[in-house]
Amino acid sequence: MTGNLVIIAAAAVLSCACVFVLIRRAAQLGLVQAPEARSSHVRPTPTGGGIGIVAGALVAGLSLPGADGVSLLILALGLVIALVGLIDDRRPLPARVRLPVQALVVAALLWSTGAAGALAGGLPAAFHLGAAALLLVGGLWWINLFNFMDGIDGIAGQQAILMLLSAMLIAFGTVPGVTGGWTWWMMAATAAATFGFLVFNWPPARIFMGDAGSTFLGFTLFASAMLSLVAGWLSLPQWLVLAALFAGDATVTLLVRLLRGENVAQAHRSHAYQRLSRRFNGARPVSSGFAVVNLLVLLPIAFILPQEVWAWLVVVVVYVCVIGAALACGAGLPDQQPASFNTYRRLLSRSRN
């Protein structure tokens, strides 16, 4: 265990060192993000800091004992996702290029882990195909929504760290011998590498994560969920609870923008968390608030989540609360439009017509 702890610490140090170098060399590398009308920052800021997360996590993953063929494939798939994100950071890629690559990566992950079979259990083959399709769409959406939610200082980093640590804590408290495997320590390494980046990204940020980091973290969280699902450590409802803040905000924002007839591929700043950051004059209260909810509300719920159908009932209640909060914050609406019941009712009426 001592050796693993040294590797975890090294992941944080390597990530921190990479981010420090990137801050100093961002201009030469073409990784400076200038503010735009739809940006949440007001001055040119280095981006691509997620490269530190990728470096720290991948080096640790290769160094940790117990890695098998599936583990190495997952690391390789994460690297592919990060490279596509890095290219997108430097020169935006169209969705027709990004999405097929991401879909192939998620499909390879599902095939290698057998997650669809674990989800469908002993049901007929048709249910296994349905589970695979559901997980493919869910994985693709999660990777992209995690990228969408990386819009203010500190929010994506804290979300990744707390989701990983929460899952680790739940597994540690319920599954004997869980610390003897590669997966549990890889989750710790990713959290440590993310912390090495978050030191520089916590409000006011000195560097942004960029697509390389956000898509890598989205993929790694999804891969961790699939591995823990197959191993029987955590259930899908537990992961859905831990992901509720990000999944709820991003999904509500997307649907509202669709109802408003907007181009959903266009950059915007109408997420609930972005509107809140403008209301509270900065990212710190919002990122801190998300961290508090993750730690003091969602983690305890996921930890004591009941089994079978009752677990899904709890998931529904959690998401109803999150969706209601997102709507109350005006998710998907422009700055000048206040959130109200009548606003959303008019949007629904217009869409029906």
pLDDT in tens, the chain (353 residues): 789 999 999 999 999 999 999 999 888 878 887 766 455 555 788 999 999 999 999 999 999 999 999 999 999 999 999 999 999 888 888 889 999 999 999 999 999 999 988 887 777 777 788 999 999 999 999 999 999 999 899 999 999 999 999 999 999 998 898 998 999 999 999 999 999 999 999 999 999 999 999 999 999 999 999 999 999 999 999 999 999 999 999 999 999 998 888 887 787 889 999 999 999 999 999 999 999 999 999 999 999 997 778 899 999 999 999 999 999 999 988 877 787 777 777 777 776 66
Domain locations in the chain as residue ranges: 2-352
Q: Report phi then psi at 204, rounded to 5.
A: -80, 130
Rounded Cα gap, residues 16 and 281, in angstroms:
28
Number of neighbouring beta carbons within 10 Å of residue 159 = 24
R_g over Cα of the chain: 20
Nearest to 113 by CA among 211, 64, 182, 215: 182
Distance CA 143, CA 221 (A): 9
Please tell me whether residue 33 adopts helix, strand or coil conformation.
strand
Strand partners, 46: 32
Q: How far is CA 291 from each of CA 156, 159, 194, 285, 318, rounded to the nearest angstrom?
A: 10, 7, 14, 10, 16
CA distances from 267 to 32, 177, 208, 257, 273 (A): 17, 45, 16, 12, 15
Strands 32-33 and 45-46: antiparallel
Residue 22 near residue 31 (C-beta atoms within 8 A): yes
User: How far, in Å, CA of 274 to CA of 239, rounded?
Assistant: 24
Q: Among 209, 162, 202, 184, which Cα is nearest to 282's?
A: 202
Measured CA to CA, the distance from residue 102 to residue 108 in angstroms comes to 10
pTM of the model: 0.93
Tokens representing residue 154 in the block: 């500190």
Tokens of 183: 């997966």
